[in-house]
Every structure is written in structure tokens, then in C-alpha cells.
Structure 1
Amino acid sequence: MPPRRLPALAALLALPGGALAEAPPPVAVTVTDKGCEPASLTVPAGKSVFRIRNQSRRVLEWEILQGTMIVEERENIVPGFVQTLSATLQPGSYQMTCGLLSNPKGTLTVLAAAETAPGGPPDPLALVGPLAAYKHYVSTQVDTFVARTRAFAEAVKAGRLAEAKALYAAARQPYERIEPVASLFNDLDKSMDVRADDFEHKEADPGFIGFHRIEKGLWADNSTEGLGPHADKLLADAEELQRRVRDLTIPPAKMVGGAAGLIEEVAATKISGEEDRYSRTDLSDFHANVEGSRKIYDLLRPLVEKRDPDLVARTDKNFARVDALLLKYRSEDGSFAPYDKLSERDRQALKAPITVLAEDLSTLRGKLGLD
């Protein structure tokens, strides 16, 4: 089924003015190993703050979905911890992800309100240029992603094991650069980039497909046997992403928030080496995430500098520090050292500046009036 079209840019940016409404009380949600408690929520239209407690045994992300589209999400909620998510929602029916992909989704009903919470960026039209430039960047990266995925899939299907291994990291890079947009499509993101940990039965679960299922076959099993259908599905999903992006209007908050989201994911979970656990090509993913974040930041930099030049100066230095650290592990041919060759000290040396960079980038939405 085709994804729900996002509203036009004018509708996304045109928000009513006026005095700020009183903040609503937080809506509590607990995620266990079996699902969400409560499994059904009702909130009024406008801004809601969700307080998500992770009572499961794994790091999770909590998402609000409408059809196949992710409306809002909070990633990397550690077991035993609570995080909050602010979301401005229109009336309608939504779903909530509840831990494992095999768990049932929760339901979220948003009722029409007599008054909607006003607010918004002081200069809506200022984001039109950066959004258009980012849409072009995303489109070109998707085209590259499809071309590289096609070559990767052909090598897998032909049984060319060494070639498939060599093409794996390069195929993933464009996807990792545009993950804030690619992950908007919940069905495709879960199909292409799902990990074994997202299922109760791990690698044995039939829902474990996509890049990491093929990665497991190539490296852990050292074989292409049985991977042909997975390669076909991966390429079909990549081509579907290309079709959807062509008609997509990128939400401003997703673009701006994506600069921090890409770096936060590296600092919170990817630094442990869980992403590419079979191939150990994690540093290639890290570098692509940083490149994608930097692209968003560069497009927004003139707007942010007008509001907070000190933040821009700090962020420029933080990006330079992260780039220099990653460069230490990069070969002349552009490839990166296997992640298992890094010591724990090396990993912590990476984590510190990445965490600082993520913290500063997380303020961009507020600086541009998009919280």
C-alpha cells in the first residue's frame, strides 16, 4: 500500500500565532518485553508530551506511526530509563511501536480540540531554501543507494562471496547518510535495516531480513547460499524508497532534528559495535552518519549563526574533532579498519566528542523554533 503523503510545505510551516498555551501534563507509557502499557491512549489534538519508561530487557525506540509513516520517535531508550517525547499531533488514529517488532502495536487516538497549541518558527520561509537543497541531496543519495544495492544484490545472487563482502559497506553508506528521511517509512526501514535483536527469536526469526540478514550469511556463515531472495527483497525495497522519496515533502522538524539524531544514535548504541556485528564495518556507517549530519548542519548554519554564533563555533570544532578521529582509522582507498580492531580505549575516545556533538546539535530544533 503506498505511504500516506505528507502535507505540503506551506501547511507544515504555516502555524497559528498567539500566546503560548499551558503545557499539558505528560502522558505515561511503559514498554515491557510484551508490549505497551497502556496499549491504548487518547490525547487531545495539539502538543502532547509522552513519558516513556523502558521496562524491557533491551534498548528500544518508541515511535508514533500513521500508516507507514513515522510521525515522531524517541530512540535509544535504555532499559530502566525514562525519556520524554514532545509531539504536536493532528486529530486522527495513530499507532505506537512497543518494543520487539513481534509485539503488537499500541493505538493512539487524537481527538479534535477546541483550540490548538500555537507557536512555530519566527520566520517560516527561512527554511524553504535549506529544505529544497536537502531534498535534492536526499534524492541523489537515494539514486546512489539503489545503484550500489543493485550491484551488491547481483554479487550475492551470483555467489560471488568476496565481491559481495567488498560491496556491502559501500551499499549501506548512502542509506546511513539520509537515515532521518529513510526511517520515516517504517515498513521499509524495518525491512532493510532491522537487527536480529528486534525479534524474540533473534537470527532464527523469519522477519530478520535485509542488510543484516545478508551480512550474517556473508560473514558468520561465509556463504551466499539461500541469500538470493533476501537480495531481491532488499533491492525491491531500495527501489520503493526511491519512488517514495520522489514525491515526499520533508517535514522541517525531521530535517533539523535529523542532524542530532544521526549522531545520537552513534553515541548511544552504535559505538558498542551492535550495528554491523558480523562484518565489523561499523566505522563506515559512523562516517556516513557524520556526513549526513554535517550536510544538514551546513544547510542550516547561516540561520543558526544569526541566533547563536557561539553554538556554530562550538559545533564547527566538534565536527572537526570527530572527522579527525575517524580519519585515523581510514585507509588510502577509503575503507575503514574493522571495528573489532579498536580497543575499548579507542572506542571511548570516539564516544566523547560524538556525545558532545550530539548534545549541541540537539538544540537546533529549539534554536529554529521547531520544538
Structure 2
Amino acid sequence: MTVVLLAAAGWWLWARPAPSADGVVEVSVSACGRGWAGPQAGRQTLRLRNTGPVTAGAEVVDPATGAVFGEIEGLGAGATRALDITLGAGDYALRCLPDDADAVTGPVVHVTGGAPRPAPAIVPVTYADLLGPAKSYHAVIAAGLDSLAAQTDALAAAVRSGDRAAARAAWLTAHLTYERLGAAYGAFGDADAAINGTADGLPDGTADPGFTGFHRLESGLWRDEATSALAAVAQQLTDAVHRLGESFPDRQIDQLDLGVRAHEIMENALQSELTGHTDYGSGTGLATTLANLDGTVAVLDVLRPLLAGRLPALSQVDAQIGRARTAVASGQRADGSWVPVAQLPTALRERINGTVAELTEELAPIAAITAPRRSS
């Protein structure tokens, strides 16, 4: 993996050692960077060998700023691994990060000629940097769960009334609210399966007693199962939502999840909603995809202060979100209903899939940029 980050790490200017006999560069506390001599500009492969006693990581950095241009992780003692990297004109050093020991930065090597550095330096993210976004996102999810509880109560009441049309409308409202909470599912634990699980892997499929929540209710409402029989399913759903809402204040959202989910929410939409895999009769996969877009924006909004100086393509991501939203929304009929994914004209389906897939690619770097990095 090649990344560009800025780290506030100390460094020492050592005398340049002679190249190692077999052309490898050493990764260790006592000889970090030994063997890296005469570096050339352009694309190349460094052979890094861990000559220390413990597993270590290694990074090619700008010794003046700590900017990282390439890295490997989990290099076992005695192991050698290739690092493909492109170097422009400038100074570089190897930073060695042994497990359970302080980082060590090796001697400076100087590259002349060639193209400018391949990318600008990016300030690394620390766990402290993520505290504010995680707290803000926790508040977003707590508010969403409050709304969801009221909506599932209304859904249960509509099912009990026997008004199938009202129940279907209430189901969609509540389900889309849940689908907007995409980066918090890891904090929901078993509640996610109870609330929004599918029949995948269940012995009896949709008839299995373990099939509960939104999709179980969807299956019954759109396949004309008696509403009297579905009342217990709806009540079970709203009870699960209320329990989650009550316990959520004590739950922690993993700081690492924020950056990862920014990419995964739309990746899951592409694999599940836009294939029809999670459609149990409502045909609302496109509406769910729009809700997932909303969920992605919610994550980006709390991360935006961190991304603004680290992701030059942030405006491009925002523009692609707009294009994806326009494409997906074109599957809504004039009466407000949705065309099921399987019934979309081929050209429109390809356009929707293409724009969402491109957005997924645009979002992918956010996980690496917002991953807390060790610099000492």
C-alpha cells in the first residue's frame, strides 16, 4: 500500500552506511535503513528485511516532515518483503516501527533528478483527532434512533389496524431511517441482526423463526400475509429498536469505523440493494440506496474537518455523490413509488450501477487517510 501522510516524528541524520551485501534494506532498531544507498528517481522496488527480533512495520518518509510515501506492516522477524514505490527528487529515510518499541528513523538518502514527488504530504490522523468526529456521530445516531423508535411504534400501530397500505408506507419510512445509520452497525451488536437481518443462512429461509425485523415484516406485508399474523412481528421489531435506543448511550462507536464505513456503506449498497438481494417484496432497493447515500454524507460531514486538508479530491467526492443521487432518484415513478431494481431498463440500471461504483472508488482512500497512525 502506498500512502502519503505527515507525521510529527523526530529523526536523526546518520552517516550513510554501505550497501548490504545482498541489496536489502534492514528494518531494525539498531540498523534501521542500513543498505539503502544510491537511490534512484522513479518507480522501483525496495527489498526490506526485518533483522530485529520482533515483528515490525516500515515506512519510507520525508525526514524533515515525517510524510509517508510507502509502507509495509507486520514484517516478521527474519522476513523479507518487497515495497513498490515511486520516488521523486528529494530527501527520504526509512522509519522502522518494531512492535512494543519506539520508532526509529534511519539515515537520510537523497534522490536527484526525476519527476517531482508523486503526491503532497498529508497530516496523519491520531486517535485524539477522531474523538470529536466520533462524539458528533454518536449524537447523530442517538437522534436517529429516537426518530426510529417513534416510527416503528407507528408501524406497529398501522399493522395492528389492518391497514396494509398504511403499514407499507410506515414500514418504508422507518426502514429508510435505519438505513441512514450505516456507520454505527458495529456498535449495535446483535441488535442489527434482530432489526434488519436477512434470511441468509437460516435453515428454513424466510419461514425460519430466526428471521425477524424489517425484512421479515417486508416479506409479510408485500406477500399479503394476514396483518393479524404480522402484528407480533411488528411489535417484536419496535421492541428491539427501543432496547437498542435505551442501551446506545453506553455503546461506543469504533473510531476506525468512521473512515471504513464511508466506503463500505455504498459498497454494501452496490452488492445488496442494487442487485435486489435484500428485496423481500417491497421493490424499494433504490430508496434504500438513497438512504445509504444519506448515511454516507452523515459520516463525511463529521469527518469533513479532518478530510478538508488531507483529501484534495473531496470536492470530487461531493460531486460524485450528487451524480449518484440523481441517477438513483431517476428510478422513482411520478406517483412516488419505486421501480424495483430487477425491472429497471438496462441502460438506467447500468448508469446507476456505474455512478455508485465510481463513488465507491472515490470514497475508498478515506479509510487509509483517517486511520490513526503510529509515529513514535
Band of TM-score, shorter chain: 0.5 to 0.7
Compute the displacement of 1:329 (Å).
Answer: 3.0
Question: Which residue of 2 is the match for residue 265 of structure 1?
Answer: 268
Q: Superposed, which structure 2 residues align to 1:96-245 within 5 Å?
A: 115-116=99-100, 122-245=125-248
Question: Can you list the C-alpha shifts for 1:79-103, whole angstroms capped at 9, x where unaligned?
Answer: xxxxxxx99xxxxxxxxxxxxxxxx
For residue 289 of structure 2, the aligned residue among 272, 283, 286 is 286
Contact 1:284 1:335 in 2 (8 A): no
Question: Which residue of 2 is the match for residue 297 of structure 1?
Answer: 300
Question: Which residue of 2 is the match for residue 10 of structure 1?
Answer: none
Compute the displacement of 1:341 (Å).
Answer: 3.9
Counterpart residue identity of residue 143, structure 1: D
Q: Superposed, which structure 2 residues align to 1:25-36 within 5 Å?
A: none
Structure 1 residues 265 and 156, CA gap change in structure 2 (3 angstroms): same
> What is the RMSD computed on CA atoms of the aligned residues?
3.1
For residue 355 of structure 1, the aligned residue among 338, 354, 357 is 357
Compute the displacement of 1:265 (Å).
Answer: 0.2
Counterpart residue identity of residue 263, structure 1: M
Counterpart residue identity of residue 133, structure 1: S
Contact 1:182 1:241 in 2 (8 A): no
Structure 1 residues 118 and 207, CA gap change in structure 2 (3 angstroms): farther
Structure 1 residues 136 and 186, CA gap change in structure 2 (3 angstroms): closer
Question: Which residue of 1 is the match for residue 347 of structure 2?
Answer: 345
TM-score by length of 2: 0.64
Q: Superposed, which structure 2 residues align to 1:41-60 within 5 Å?
A: none
Give aligned-pair identity as a percent: 29
Counterpart residue identity of residue 143, structure 2: T
Q: Superposed, which structure 2 residues align to 1:63-102 within 5 Å?
A: none
Contact 1:215 1:278 in 2 (8 A): yes
Contact 1:194 1:209 in 2 (8 A): yes
- The separation in 1 between residues aligned to 2:212 and 2:371, in whole angstroms, is 39
- The separation in 1 between residues aligned to 2:230 and 2:274, in whole angstroms, is 28
The count of aligned residue pairs is 267
- The separation in 2 between residues aligned to 1:132 and 1:333, in whole angstroms, is 39
- The separation in 1 between residues aligned to 2:124 and 2:220, in whole angstroms, is 48
Compute the displacement of 1:302 (Å).
Answer: 3.0
Contact 1:215 1:279 in 2 (8 A): yes
Once structures 1 and 2 are overlaid, which stretch shifts more, 332-341 or 295-304?
332-341
